[in-house]
Amino acid sequence: MEILLSGTPMIKNNIQLTPVSPKDLGRTYDLFKEGLYDVSEKAFGWDETFQHERFNKAYRPEWFYWIENDSKQVGYVCFNVREKDLHVHVLIISKEFQSAGFGKDVMELLADIAKQSSVDVTLSTLKNNAGAVKFYQRLGYKIVGQDDYFYDLILKLRD
């Protein structure tokens, strides 16, 4: 079951989440590749056809939101709220805007949305993406599972 986000404020500190329009969805893949190519290539190789098809099949268009600061797109997040969790599929902050606190603000905003929906926040990240693993752990996420390439993490917000 998916929970709709109607009425949820999508603004926190210096960022705002704005739905990605259908005409801009192609840009989200370009940013996905820019942000994840290196760590994916090192982990298991980058197969362009596989990655592009998976990206288009795994994520629904209405799950994508631009991350904006002063009307500038600094990245995007792809997430959906389900019955027991808010699952973050992809968080991309463009390289020129990294280390400015935007990722932290987005994750705090998603935690606020999850609290309002009485669910936890979940995500997966590549094991070899040490910066991302540390980032999520600093925000309180715990590793709850893993496979050969990925860690599954959770931010517990409910009992």
pLDDT on residue 50: 95
Q: Count of CB atoms within 10 A of residue 110's CB?
A: 24
pLDDT on residue 44: 94
Question: What residue ranges define each of the domains in the chain, with the CATH number in brackets?
Answer: 11-155 (3.40.630.30)
Please tell me whether residue 20 adopts helix, strand or coil conformation.
Answer: coil
- Per-residue pLDDT tens digits for 112-129: 999 999 999 999 999 999
What residue ranges of the chain have pLDDT lower than 70? 1-9
pTM beyond cutoff 0.75: yes
Q: What distance in Å separates the CA atoms of residue 136 and residue 142, rounded to the nearest whole number?
A: 8
- Per-residue pLDDT tens digits for 28-52: 999 999 999 999 999 999 999 999 9
